[in-house]
Structure 1
Amino acid sequence: MNKQTAFVVTLILLLFTAEACSPTRKLKEGERLLVKNKIIEEDKKEKGSTLETEDYVLQKPNKKLLGIWRFNLWVYNLVNQEKMRRNQVRKDSLTEVKNEARLAKGKPEKELKPVFGARLLKFGEPPAIYDSSLTQMSDRNMEQYLFNKGYFHAHVRDSTSFRGKKKVIKYYFITYGPAHTYRNVSMIIDDPRVKSAMEQERIFKDTPLKTGERFDLDQIDEERMRITKAMRKQGYFFFNNQYVEFAADTGLPDNKIDISLRIRDPQISMRRGDDTVVINKHIPCKIRHVYVEPEYRPGVDQKYSHADTFYLDRNPYIILHNGNLKYTPRILTKQIIIESGNYFNTDDNDITYQNFSSLRNFKYINIDFTYVETKGNVGYLDCYIKLSPSKRQSFSASFQGTTTGAYPGLEASFSYQNKNAFFSAEQLEFRLFGRAESQIINDTTFQNIRRVFNTLEFGGEFSIKFPKFLVPFNIGRYSKRNNPLTTLRLPITYQTRPDYARFLSNISFGYEWNETPQKRHRFNPVEFTIIRVQLSDHFRKTLQQSQDRFLLNSFTNHIISSTSYTYLYSNYKANNTPGNYVTLKAGVEYGGNILYGLAKAGKWKQDSTGRYLISYVPFAQFVKTEFDFRDYWVMSKRNTLAFRAVLGVGVPYGNSNVMPFEKSFSAAGANDLRGFIARRLGPGSHYSGGLFDQFGDIKLLFTLEERFKLTDQIELGLYADAGNIWLMRKDLDREFGEFRFDRFYKEIAISAGLGIRLNLGFFIFRLDPAFPVYNPASVNNFDPNTTEKDRDPWRIKYLRFRDLRWNFAIGYPF
């Protein structure tokens, strides 16, 4: 370990040591800091039980960062609050004096702002001062919780251990006793229609309340909600949780319980004009009429001059408006799953809401139901879909920081958007942008690496999205639940660097649709790209001297014509509800097959290597697959463990002997292996010296990251990344770069680090420094100036501060 690294490590240790002695320094006489709660089980709970008794302890110690440092308490103690209050009073007084002068000049007042100490204190946490009165309440809380979980005879006692004069450890001793389990579970449903509805929703078969299972009051409440949801899906609009009753007989021997379910009859009174309607039986409800209000204004008692009926697939919809509809009736009715004559169904309501929301045309969406009448044993409802349009056209300009890989940059853009271009919610957008990035380049001798704003990029993009399948032939009826989308994009980009300039023009046409709310498909039958490259004289000579086939191919004019399909799955919830959530993105792309067939049939012109040309430009032919799996364990609202696995394979064939530059894989950077320079890792254990960006045909990436919140806005991330890229075939110019089963596992690079994130809700700014832990290319570093240490792949043994990679980015890495 060198002196610089030793200094950093020593500094960190001193910081933690100093903090360990300091948390009690501001306590008053007689106050003690609660440093730990420890729960001890004096007997065994039921096998397989997962209990969260610690959540019911009322007083908890201060949070620790990485289990070591009470960071929030340290920040709290850092602030001299008496001095802060004096400074605040002084600053407020000065601001008030200035405001008087501003008002005298007719200027608006300036708001009072907190001093630095007050802002800093928001990130602090007061010391957890031990309070014995909360201990007995915690005992009772845990006993009540355990009773609700089936441990009717559980007992909790506590003891206190004093550490020195200022610290306390609290012990809670739990005796569970026997768990009470179900002997008989019965569901008594007198109404045959209610019973039939519950059978259709598999209420009886799928219930978790089964003989032999432990009594659990929370599970009973969840069952009550499940039954309510199922009944409302079957048309029972008035059904709610209060009609589901459970009765338990706990006076049985051997800690057994008999539990029975009953559905209580409703007692609902409603005014209908001068009459009062009483509903005292559970009745399914049908939809009588569906009304759409596309000009709805919240809080305004609106009267409409027109009530026009439109039919879609023989289903009538009544559109209420005042003339000059802003939307075609078809685009409105296409989003509605709710249909006249159908039974009320909460799923239909949810999907209808999602369909209208996906149009991105309405700032307010509400679906209401009004009871109309009862005929026989069926109730009738009128549905009102209230839509408040958002602004149709908008202009925007932005100036922001960007990151590509680990390279910082600046971007300015201007865009025009029309959310309802042709009155059917078509989203038309035109965007112009300019971007400057700072990338690592070498001087003419390739000896000195420097970083400047050397990459400039200018471009524009026209895109339009149609909320339907736009095809030149009849595809028949498709479900409204599919939420289809057709997209046409025409981007053009010009990129210039000191060594070369690239011009890219592209056209793509594709479709997206839902299979279920969790599953989405994306199919692009057409994507055509033309890449033209201009090289500086020096760079052209350098490429020719390298004789690297991939680099030579990457920096020549070429054409890519491809077809792709992508499958997307996600059950992720954005509200941080504890649970396990996964996302999967799997795709396949074929390029050049149609052109190759036409070229062979038409005997197109070929170059010296046998490649077919279009206007003297070769086209790429390849197949590429990629899988991106992500798993999120949300353990609490402040702690998430995230895992990512990526596998990609590209195979060139036919008209290509290497993958096109734009379709190849690269490694490292701010969202990849964070301890290495973006695109300078690999392939395999090939040592490139960092002179050129490196690309491959195969990619593996594994990332494990724990995210935890210090405050509502400041988060930390502890992460480890592993992976690399490889070539499909052996390449003499990039020795040890090809994939081989007998050594690929030795060529997986590893990096790790600890990052800090600022979460502003709409933006997450991320600084993720990382060290290279294992670099497989080091073993093939045969530079005469290197030592045995330089050739050791385990770089963790020789940490140097200069090896730390600083990755600044916006958003989470995945």
Structure 2
Amino acid sequence: MKSKLNIYYKYLLASGFAAVTLSCSNTKFLKEGQMLYTGGEVKIENDTISKKDKNELQAALEANLVPKPNSKILGLRPKLYFYNIAKEPKKDKGFNYWLKYKIGEKPVLLGDVDREFNKKIIENYSENKGYFNAKVTYDTVSKNKKAQVIYKLRPGARYLISNVKFQKDSSLINKEIQTFTNKTFLKSGNPFDLDVIKNERDRIDNGLKERGFYYFSPENIIVQADSTVNKGHKVELNVKLKDDTPRLATEQFTINNVIVFPTYNIQDVKQGKYKVPMDVDSLSKHAYDDIYIIDPQHKFKQKIFDRALYFKKGDLYNRSNHNLSLNRLISLGVFKFVKNEFVLSDSLNHKFDAYYLLTPRQIQSLKLEALGRTNSANYAGSELNLNWTHRNFFKGAEQFKAAVYGAFDVQMGGQENAKNIFRAGANVQLSIPRIVAPFRFNSSSAFVPRTNITLGYELLNRTEYYKLNNFNASFGYVWKENVKKEHELKVIDITLVSPANVTHLYDSLSLNNDAMRRVVAKQLIFGPTYSYTYTNTMLPRTNTFYYKGTLDLAGTITGLVTGADAKKDKQKEIFGIPFSQYAKIENDVRFYHKFTEKSSFASRFIGGIAYPYGNSEFIPFSKQFFTGGSNSIRAFRARTLGPGSFDPRTIQQGYLIDQSGDIKLEFNAEYRANLYKFLNVAAFVDAGNIWLLRDDPSRPGAKFTKDFLNEIAVGAGVGLRLDFSILILRLDLAMPLRVPYYQKGDRWTFNEIDFGNAAWRKDNLILNIAIGYPF
């Protein structure tokens, strides 16, 4: 114990010495008279401000000081050090240039600091937050060629709002403003805050835009502050229109004509083929209800614009319908550019024409993809895909996609005689930009709802074992409430699995293994599925969240009608095939926290359960849960972990079945950081497992019990991510820290870690190569 403490103290001493050395070494590069600027500090001298307000004010003020000192990591400035030790490059390339100007950071000196400018920043910001009597002084503290500037702020008392007046007059625009003054951000008793005043101006502008005032601007609003009408530190606010507000900004506009150019091209305009604006006489032959559609070649059905556009002739202009129409046109997926213009056509009656200038995308595309891949189960392979897309299949912005593919995966070491895998198939999808149903579906979302119809077939050939024919078909809907919330309902989702050429070798291997026999059993699965997705990860926030919940119900109504009960009677069949009955629910929750622009934390929890009933004693193999692999618990090879404490080493040599379960729990945590441009690193921990709901004699320990926490697998590792924008190549190296099929008490493996042992590395270091982030 004493020797370990000595080593620990030596390590601390060495680390401290290195920190001091590296820190001091930066100042030795300074010239005579130069001082390294280490930052500015704001000290607030006021006993009447609450601690919370004082901390918030101090943090905001220090964030506004310029320039920023050299960046620090654990108290050190390595970027500055690299700049100092690198020689001045002769060219704008090469190692020295990269080290000095890409990795390194130029020293920020005290001479670069304009203290008077920072003083004005502090005074102005304080006044904008209601501290009208702010006084600032500053002083410079220097030692060992380092300097810090200390700013002392005496803000005085903060002024509060005593009263808010919205000036009244007889104009139409003023009457409209008065209708929503009750929702003002300016409240009596609140502190004076210039940012809140700016938000109030934007609020008024948004309200007026919804009431037809197209040409209005927040700059037309003035908020006058008067601190002389009240005793004490109070201020009265008077909200009014500026005297020089343009006449157009005060007028309420309605829509006259709505004109659509669905094949708009800027080159055609230059050649005089299109005239914008158009006269009324030339418009009449293009009329469709209240819309004029200029499509001489009839490339698009007129109905799609009637559904997408929310402006009609005579409507009062409002910004919501303006943006809604543009977003729905974009979400049709058939237009590359969407442009909107409002042209004044009747200034006397305050009317303008709405023009929609739409440039179509390439209607058809053919793409050939060749992919190479590898996974942690020691398979390497390739896939060839041929995809054809038509974006206007029936001239109503319907998207039709057809694909054929072939793939193979070859065993490269690992389990002997695991055999190669070949896949080939085809699928088609028709996506219609509306809800096709016997009921009416109204959506005011910016996203066009879609009806999706899919058909597919795949042949899976696991050489020397079996072939499986997989047929699938679905019909359903996808709709988004807004940018954060999406729903997908497959009214019917059918899967038919039919085995072929099951070999005697496989029969002999699966003789006493029910799980292996179910892999090649005929399966008919049909029923509705529903998923709900919520995410705000696209927003520029420090903390973001993602959730997806999926519910899968198979054979429910059919089972009730037929009275199916596999425990009491022979399974009910359709076309000679027993149909599956189960309920499955899965939840995927993710949380992201951004530390800085170059570092973040990501986490994920997956929890799911599948319960068979009625006509089924077991969940179909294709619908069960799996774990392990590049997007799961990376310290275990794909689909080899679990269920429960089942030991896969007991499986008969020659075939390693994909391990599946009825219950899944998984947690992942990952720290991500950017090193240089496209080069990112990560450190991660994964934990979880799968379990069965019922005992399986061929897999002892697989059943879910109250002891499930002792059967959690844990792995950890590090990774490299090469982010080339259009492609993210990921390499994760992981090792198991806890193995659930080891003996109780010996499942943690810290004492077995031996990086110097080749045999240990071969069995425990798992390299995952993948595309994209794991979550």
Give the structure-2-normalised TM-score. Answer: 0.83
Q: 2:730 aligns with which of 766, 776, 783?
A: 766
Matched residues in 1 for 2:216 and 2:618: separation?
64
Deviations 1:36-82 (A, max 9, x none): 766666667545444433422323344456x5776655765686553
Matched residues in 1 for 2:441 and 2:619: separation?
40
C-alpha deviation, 1:521, in angstroms = 2.0
Residue number in structure 2 paired with 1:307? 283
Contact 2:627 2:640 in 1 (8 A): yes
Residue number in structure 1 paired with 2:550? 587
Residue number in structure 2 paired with 1:511? 477
Matched residues in 2 for 1:670 and 1:612: separation?
39
Query: Match for 1:187: what amino acid?
Result: F
Distance 1:630 1:19, change over 3 A: farther
Query: Match for 2:534: what amino acid?
Result: Y
Distance 1:79 1:572, change over 3 A: same
- Size of the aligned set, in residue pairs, is 730
Q: 2:127 aligns with which of 135, 147, 158?
A: 147
Q: 1:295 aligns with which of 263, 273, 280?
A: 263
Asked if 1:729 corresponds to 2:705, the answer is no
Q: How does 1:528-547 map to 2 (within 5 A)?
A: 528-533=494-499, 534-545=501-512, 547=513
Q: How does 1:326-345 map to 2 (within 5 A)?
A: 326-345=299-318
Distance 1:566 1:443, change over 3 A: closer
Matched residues in 2 for 1:24 and 1:250: separation?
51
Residue number in structure 2 paired with 1:784? none
Matched residues in 1 for 2:688 and 2:458: separation?
31
Contact 2:212 2:316 in 1 (8 A): yes
Residue number in structure 2 paired with 1:104? none
Identity of aligned residues (%): 28
Query: Match for 1:307: what amino acid?
Result: L
Matched residues in 2 for 1:365 and 1:226: separation?
27
Deviations 1:634-666 (A, max 9, x none): 565444443433322211112222211222122
C-alpha deviation, 1:261, in angstroms = 1.7
Contact 2:287 2:293 in 1 (8 A): no
Contact 1:622 1:652 in 2 (8 A): yes
Q: 2:164 aligns with which of 149, 170, 185?
A: 185
C-alpha deviation, 1:793, in angstroms = 3.1
Distance 1:501 1:265, change over 3 A: farther
Residue number in structure 1 paired with 2:67? 59
Residue number in structure 2 paired with 1:806? 767
SS in structure 1 at match of 2:106: coil
Matched residues in 2 for 1:20 and 1:492: separation?
67
Structure 2 unaligned spans of 5+: 1-6, 276-281, 756-760
Asked if 1:397 corresponds to 2:374, the answer is no
Deviations 1:63-105 (A, max 9, x none): 456x5776655765686553x63xx7xxxxxxxxxxxxxxxxx
Distance 1:63 1:432, change over 3 A: farther
Residue number in structure 2 paired with 1:260? 238
Contact 2:686 2:714 in 1 (8 A): yes
Residue number in structure 1 paired with 2:210? 233
Distance 1:441 1:734, change over 3 A: farther
SS in structure 1 at match of 2:202: helix
Residue number in structure 2 paired with 1:624? 584
C-alpha deviation, 1:118, in angstroms = 5.3
Query: Match for 1:317: what amino acid?
Result: I
Distance 1:19 1:703, change over 3 A: farther
CA RMSD of aligned residues (A): 3.8
Matched residues in 1 for 2:81 and 2:569: separation?
68
Matched residues in 1 for 2:195 and 2:216: separation?
21
Structure 1 unaligned spans of 5+: 1-5, 89-113, 269-278, 781-790
Matched residues in 2 for 1:670 and 1:15: separation?
39
Deviations 1:241-260 (A, max 9, x none): 11121112245554333223
Q: 2:620 aligns with which of 660, 665, 672?
A: 660
C-alpha deviation, 1:292, in angstroms = 0.2
Matched residues in 2 for 1:401 and 1:71: separation?
39
Contact 2:449 2:479 in 1 (8 A): yes
Matched residues in 1 for 2:249 and 2:285: separation?
34
C-alpha deviation, 1:767, in angstroms = 2.7
Matched residues in 1 for 2:168 and 2:315: separation?
25
Matched residues in 1 for 2:257 and 2:186: separation?
40
Q: 1:457 aligns with which of 423, 437, 458?
A: 423
Q: 1:427 aligns with which of 380, 396, 399?
A: 399
Contact 1:369 1:384 in 2 (8 A): yes
Query: Match for 2:26: what amino acid?
Result: T
Distance 1:282 1:15, change over 3 A: same
Bigger shift: residues 432-441 or 242-251? 432-441
Distance 1:591 1:307, change over 3 A: same
Residue number in structure 1 paired with 2:22? 21
Query: Match for 1:763: what amino acid?
Result: L
Matched residues in 2 for 1:684 and 1:344: separation?
62
Matched residues in 2 for 1:330 and 1:373: separation?
28
Give the structure-1-normalised TM-score. Answer: 0.79
C-alpha deviation, 1:119, in angstroms = 6.1
C-alpha deviation, 1:304, in angstroms = 4.3
Bigger shift: residues 804-813 or 791-800? 791-800
Residue number in structure 2 paired with 1:271? none
C-alpha deviation, 1:504, in angstroms = 1.6
Deviations 1:699-722 (A, max 9, x none): 233334444434443334444434
Q: 2:341 aligns with which of 358, 364, 368?
A: 368
Query: Match for 1:294: what amino acid?
Result: P
Matched residues in 2 for 1:352 and 1:521: separation?
21
SS in structure 1 at match of 2:507: helix
Matched residues in 2 for 1:550 and 1:180: separation?
74
Matched residues in 1 for 2:157 and 2:332: separation?
56
Bigger shift: residues 435-444 or 409-418? 435-444
Matched residues in 2 for 1:192 and 1:687: separation?
82
Residue number in structure 2 paired with 1:284? 252
Query: Match for 2:510: what amino acid?
Result: L
SS in structure 2 at match of 1:52: helix
Query: Match for 1:698: what amino acid?
Result: I
Query: Match for 1:760: what amino acid?
Result: F
Query: Match for 1:432: what amino acid?
Result: V
Q: 1:556 aligns with which of 521, 545, 562?
A: 521
SS in structure 2 at match of 1:488: strand
Contact 1:772 1:796 in 2 (8 A): no
Matched residues in 1 for 2:100 and 2:769: separation?
26
Q: How does 1:101-112 map to 2 (within 5 A)?
A: none
